[in-house]
Structure 1
Amino acid sequence: MNKAPIFAAAAVLLSLAACNNKPEEVTSTAPDPQAEALKNAPKVELPPSIETSVSMRCKDNSIVFADFYKGGKQVLVKQTKDGPGTMLKAPEAGQPFVADGGYKITGTAKNATIEIPGKGARDCHG
């Protein structure tokens, strides 16, 4: 009879000892196969946002629409408000914006000289 309480106490201690074991984690998602590549990938730079959208009146009484982007290195120029545009880029902020085909903008959103193929250079202000 003395062995029964000792056996019961041992069973209780043995069941409590199992509580220190961590439970197995079960998940329905597989590990990401690109996790290592994403961890080592270079940071992505977002494209700049529009700083100013202007309609510019030129000395020949024409209107040019331009979206100047933050950072001072890109301008989208359009000849009609909802028409297609041409992206002009500058190598550094403050330098003229250029694009293939003879597009060039020198200046800012307030005052600029705009060269568009077939239209020549025009002084415009916003």
Structure 2
Amino acid sequence: MTKIISPLAVAPVAALIALAACGESEPEIVGGMADPNHEEIEELSPAELPPMRTREASFRCADNSVVYVSFYTNDSQVGVSMERDAIQTLLPNVAMAAAEEGGEEAAEAPSGPPRYSAEGYTLVGESDASSIQFARNGGALQSCHS
């Protein structure tokens, strides 16, 4: 009597043989093109990533207008717009901008909430606060609440 071997019975053995042939050795690197600028690249300082948004909020001001504000990391800047989906105007932190212009690496932190100003807008307030002070077109600061 002869036994017929089923192809399914041989499949696990074939799989084991195929896996055994695959070794996990590191590829051998032979030669290769050297980077002609590698010395210059090593001397560069690490790149600084741009600030990212930490909070977006809308505030209703004393004159019944609404301002939409995006706060960024490290209180470096805020984005403001008068309409919900409008392009925001970026206002840099006044103290940080002054320190960069003066060439000082570590500026002394001013007392009180950060102040942001540019292009006729001024905003004073913390990123986690429920109220800010806001002025547009160079006007007086007014209280705004979320």
Under a length normalisation based on structure 1, what TM-score does the superposition of the two structures give?
A: 0.69
- The answer to whether residue 139 in structure 2 is matched with residue 124 in structure 1 is no
Count of aligned residue pairs for this structure pair: 101
Runs of 4 or more above 6 Å deviation = none
SS in 1 for 2:78: strand
Instruction: Give the letter for the 1:98 counterpart.
Output: S
Q: Which amino acid aligns with 1:107?
A: G
The root-mean-square deviation of aligned C-alpha atoms, in Å, is 2.3
Question: What residue is the counterpart of 1:111 in the other structure?
Answer: 131
CA pair 108-24 structure 1, distance change in 2 beyond 3 A:
closer
More strand by share: 1
Query: How big is each residue's C-alpha offset from its partner over 1:7-65, in whole Å with a ceiling of 9 and x where there is no partner?
Result: xxxxxxxxxxxxxxxx99244xx222221111110111111111110011112221110
Bigger Rg over Cα: 1
Query: Residue 95 of structure 1: CA displacement?
Result: 2.7
2:125 touches 2:132 (CA, 8 Å); kept in 1? yes
Which runs of structure 2 are paired with 1:12-91 in the superposition (5 Å)?
25-27=30-32, 30-90=33-93, 91=95
Q: Give ranges in structure 2 of 5+ residues lacking alignment.
A: 1-27, 97-108
Overall identity of the aligned pairs, in %: 30
State TM-score, norm by structure 2: 0.60
